[in-house]
Structure 1
Amino acid sequence: MTPKGTAGAQLDLTRYVHILFIAGGAVAAYLAYNIIHNIWVHFSPDPSFPLLFALSLAAGGGLAFYFWHHEQTRQLAQEVVGELSRVTWPTRPELGAATVVVIVTSIVMAIVLGLFDFLWSWLTTVIY
C-alpha cells in the first residue's frame, strides 16, 4: 500500500470511488430490470429477456455515467472515501470488549425493566 499524501494514495481512493459508481450502476440496473419487467408483463404475455436486459443495463449505465460526470456528486464521493480512509477502526479485542459491554448492558436493562413491569402490574392489581 502506498503511503498517505502521495499520488498513489489518491489513486487508491479514486479506485474505491470507481467501484462505488460501478456498484451503484449495477444496483440501478437490477432495479430498472425489475421495474421494467413488472411493467412489461402487464402489456405483453411473453417478455423479451434480451430487450429487458439491454434496457436495464442502459438505464443503470446511464445513471452511473450521469452521476460520474456530475462534478458535485463525484467530489462528494471522493470526500466520503477520503474521510473513511482516515477513520481508525477498532481492533478485534476492542470490538469483542465493546460487544460484551453492549450485551451485559442489554441484559441488565432487561432485568430492570422486567422488575419495573412486575412492580407496576402488582401495584395496579392491589389498587384496582
Structure 2
Amino acid sequence: MGEFVEIRTSPAEIINIAHGLREKGEALQKAAQRHNHDIEKREEPHDVFPAGDEFVEGFHPDYIGPTTDVNGHGSTTNAALRAAAEFCGKQLIDIGNYVASAMATYDVADQQAGADITKAGQHGHK
C-alpha cells in the first residue's frame, strides 16, 4: 500500500524546478569539463610548480598524492578533485531527472485515483 504524500504546490511546478536542477547540473558538468581541461594543461609546465618554491614544496606532494575518486578507484588528489566537480554536475542531472519522472508518475496516479473515486461515487448513487 502506498503512503500519503502531501504536495503543497502543483506537480507541474515541481517538475519545472526539477528541470531547472537538471539544467544547472548540465551547466556545471560542462563548465567542470572545460575548466578541468584547462587545469590539466596548466599542471604540465614546470613554471606552475617550480622546484624549490616554498609553497610547492609543501603543497605539491599532497596535490598529486594518492587517493580514491568518486567511484572508489585509485587516483591522485588533483585528478579526483576534477572528477568530483564533473560528478556533482551529473548528480544534479540525475536528481532533476528522477524528481521530474517521479512527479509525472505521481500526477498520473493522482489523476487516476481521482477518476476512480469519482467513478465509484457515481456507482454508489444508483
Tell me the TM-score range normalised by the shorter chain: 0.3 to 0.5
Q: TM-score, normalised by structure 2?
A: 0.33
Larger relative helix fraction: 1
Relative contact order higher in (CA < 8 Å, ≥ 6 apart) = 2
Bigger strand fraction = 2
TM, length-normalised to structure 1: 0.33
Larger radius of gyration: 1
